[in-house]
Amino acid sequence: MSVESVIKYFSDRNIESPVFKLNNSGATVEQAAETIHTQPKYIAKTLAFKLKNEDILIVVRGDFKVSNRKFKDFFGVKARMVDSDKVLNEIGHPIGGLCPFGLQNEVKVYIDVSIKDFEYVYPAAGSKDYALKIPPKQIQELVNAKWIDVCKNSQ
- CB 61, CB 9: distance < 8 Å: no
d(CA 111, CA 60): 6
pLDDT attached to residue 153: 72
Q: Is the pLDDT of residue 89 over 70?
A: yes
- Chain mean position to CA 97: 8
Does any domain span residue 43?
yes
Does any domain span residue 153?
no
d(CA 110, CA 53): 16
pLDDT attached to residue 25: 85
Region of poorest pLDDT, from 55-59, 69-73, 91-95, 140-144:
91-95
Does any domain span residue 136?
yes
For 55, which DSSP code? E
pLDDT attached to residue 51: 94
* pLDDT tens figures, 22-40: 998 888 999 999 999 999 9
Q: Which domain holds residue 9?
A: 2-148
Q: Is the pLDDT of residue 155 over 70?
A: no
Say how many domains are in the chain: 1
Does any domain span residue 28?
yes
The CATH number of residue 16's host domain is 3.90.960.10
* CA-to-CA dists, residue 13 to 107, 148, 151, angstroms: 18, 26, 31
* pLDDT tens figures, 36-54: 999 999 999 999 999 999 9
d(CA 154, CA 100): 24
DSSP H stretches of helix in the chain:
2-12, 29-36, 68-75, 84-86, 136-143
- Burial of 70 per CB tally in 10 Å (0-12, 13-18, 19+): middle
- CB 108, CB 56: distance < 8 Å: yes
